[in-house]
Structure 1
């Protein structure tokens, strides 16, 4: 079976350009209206920053056999049931014949690395654990396991690459975290999310602010690379397309 990866590199460069361009445009609009948010929030509130990545995922679905599937990006259609909480809002859902084929979360972090890393970590773990528990309890009906994806883009900056110290007075911090930068910690998080079976695939991209013109991005490890994520998703879609044909 030949998978179609939808020219993912070129489309990702475009998505990165749009990410930084949309952030800058949102800041400029708020400044013009005299309503600028504090810090980096002004670039987040537009809600369109990761749309280029959504488009890439949609292309993967369409090109690998499920062009007739229901792909949801509208907020009103993005809710899935939970186990520890009633519902959870996702960023993209793919359904076909009443079955959940894929659910994807797209996240980003620009600046404020120390303040947000733990929040992103707890959110990623909790979201997946809640969904898989709901799945085990039959909340999604009697169906095969869906693809659950988590894609994170982090600003490539001195603050995200600088070694970080942690204080743990009673027991030592795990060796892999000792002196690890925030980018390295996100990479470890993505790897562990997959090893623990919480996500089918988890991807980490790093990109500098100047990438609004170049679309520049880098990856931290083969396991969390964009190609690994895209190939895993494409393979799942193709497999489900054959099963449901």
Structure 2
């Protein structure tokens, strides 16, 4: 029996349209209320920007054998115990028969401040995963197989994210692959290495221009960090866990 990838490309395009549409709707709502945030923050305060991608993930889970799993999306039930801190708030949790099946983070970044935000996202992604796997080792979730741990990143395709970036490292040279790399390329390298170092089961990078609000057009940088790799890995994990637990 093959995996069901639920026509993920079409649903991803709808998610991209929703991403840009929700940002603009949030910005307009704040302006109309007379209390608009500064800069890009006006587009993120609604908290709904990545909901289309969450809907896609839910379809994958339900279509591959875990339709009756507990799928948590509300803030009050999204925390897991940590090892270096008491708890960590995730974006999506899947629990079935008392076992953690999947924990997923969905993040986004639009310009203009790609530099500072890239560093913050990098530190957050690494720290979150290291904390979870250490807690798992210490049986914070009980004795169970390794859960699926996923990271999805949506980055605005813009001159600032595509341009070559210089780095200052006066004492030791940076790795060659980072020299002059754009922020989109750096996110791609980050996602690849998060998976290579087994910090995440899979990590996906999606780029899109603001004009995609009407088309849903998006791009992928490499096969390893593409959306197909993410949904296929998730579908496979869900199917395997469904077979084991049912």
Q: 2:31 matched to which residue of 1? A: 31
Structure 2: any 5+ residue segments left out of the alignment? none
**How far apart are the structure 1 equivalents of 2:52 and 2:241?**
24
The TM-score with structure 2 as length reference comes to 0.99
3-state SS, counterpart of residue 214 of structure 2: helix
**How far apart are the structure 2 equivalents of 1:116 and 1:192?**
18
Q: Deviations over 1:108-133 (max 9, x none)?
A: 00011012000000000000000000
Aligned length: 245
CA positional deviation for 1:32: 0.4
Provide the aligned C-alpha RMSD in A: 0.4
Structure 1: any 5+ residue segments left out of the alignment? none
**How far apart are the structure 1 equivalents of 2:197 and 2:232?**
20
3-state SS, counterpart of residue 3 of structure 2: coil
Q: 1:205 matched to which residue of 2? A: 206
Q: 1:222 matched to which residue of 2? A: 223
**How far apart are the structure 1 equivalents of 2:132 and 2:16?**
29
**How far apart are the structure 1 equivalents of 2:177 and 2:82?**
32
**How far apart are the structure 2 equivalents of 1:189 and 1:115?**
15
**How far apart are the structure 2 equivalents of 1:53 and 1:80?**
21
The TM-score with structure 1 as length reference comes to 0.99
Question: Following superposition, which runs of at least 4 residues in structure 1 exceed 6 angstroms of deviation?
Answer: none
- The question of 1:16 aligning with 2:39 is answered no
- The question of 1:2 aligning with 2:19 is answered no
- The question of 1:144 aligning with 2:145 is answered yes
